Amino acid sequence: MNPLKPGSTIGILGGGQLGRMLSLAAAQLGFDVAIYTDEPDSPASRVSARTRVGNYLDEAALADFARHVDVVTTEFENVPAETAQALIAAGARVAPNPHALAVAQDRFDEKSYFTSAGIATPPFRAIGSQEDLDAAIAEIGAPAILKTRRFGYDGRGQIRIASAGDARGAYEKLGAPGILEGFCVFEREVSIIAARGWDGAIAFYDLNENEHAGGILSRTTLPARVGADVERAAQDAAKRVMEAFDYVGVLTIEFFVMPDGSLVANEMAPRVHNSGHWTIEGALTSQFEQHIRAVAGWPLGSTKRLAGVEMVNLIGEDAEAWPALAADADARLHLYGKRDTRAGRKMGHVTKLRF
């Protein structure tokens, strides 16, 4: 792909905070951004050149959108893979490709792919009935976690099963096809953020160490407390995934670090990621600029980390502390422009660099 010239238009599917930060990064490089979303008055729309509000399966609307953009990318993984395919059929270049989106949208397919690529995962089984769940518990054991195969995020669509007795009625409560995953007794959680260009060039950011509360990422710190061998293993896994999918853009894989130092893959996200928000201030090239560079056919930027980093998410009413955070000379505050504050909703984040 020839590099897009400044002034070209990048289409983004989705109007959330990741789309907002992608749009801001694209503007810095001289691009216009067009948002396609099913949400009126979205955070990304308010910082972008234009917005098309429509259904993600409206082929006529997607075809019209494709005619007015030079490349299309996504800001969240649950945009239907059919949407990306319809855009390609209408003549658009789309990155990442529909195959990567489809695999990442289904937890069973994702875990199956990791296994086929030689990447370790927790033990898992597909669950389509209470009988499947009972059989899987008998095989995998408890504790375990029952998750929906699709559309779960930030702890939603998950049921913790501490003992076999907890499995009674759990499938009906889940209310959708699921996957049972064995519980991992791990030392810490980490994520690798990588980028790949149309030309196959790959760049890695330093490994993130992550803490979760209530299933939602609460804090990311760097450097991660792991050895160089762990970091190389994470990079190798990400490289294999991106090359297998002929992937273009930023991709994230979350891992559990086991007591023996081995890595167990939890999930992947075919997009920029919450654990990479630190890169806005903490790296020479943010993950958002990197993603725009990749999909636009530009050379990838330097991923050099500038300092030690702590990034804290502002969840729900946490964002009400913005006056104090704005007054903190050591804090860099980011608010996402969401109109309503709700419990469990990501409203912003704050980053501190430690030199």
Pair (238, 341) in one structural domain = yes
Residues 201 and 269 occupy one common structural domain? yes
pLDDT above 90 for 214:
no
Domain end: 141, 160, 182, which one?
A: 182
With bands split at pLDDT 50, 70 and 90, how would you rate the model's confidence at 328?
A: very high
pLDDT for residue 153 is more than 80: no
Q: Give the CATH number of the domain where residue 221 resides.
A: 3.30.470.20
Q: Which amino acid is at 116?
A: S
Q: Is 161 helix (H, G, I), strand (E, B) or coil?
A: strand
Task: Name the residue range of residue 34's domain.
Answer: 9-94
pLDDT of residue 30: 98
Burial 215-253 (b: 16+ CB within 10 A, else e): ebbeebbbebebeeebbebbbebbeebbeebebbbbbbb
- Rounded to an integer, the average pLDDT of 142-152 is 88
Q: Quick one: what percent of the chain has pLDDT higher than 70? A: 99
Same-domain pairing of 197 and 336: yes
Choose the final residue of a domain: 142, 163, 182: 182
**pLDDT, mean over the chain:** 95
Q: Kindly report the CA angle at 103 between 99 and 109, in degrees rounded to 5?
A: 140
- Domain total in the chain: 3
pLDDT score at 54: 97
58 and 36 in a common domain: yes
Which pTM value belongs to this model?
Answer: 0.96
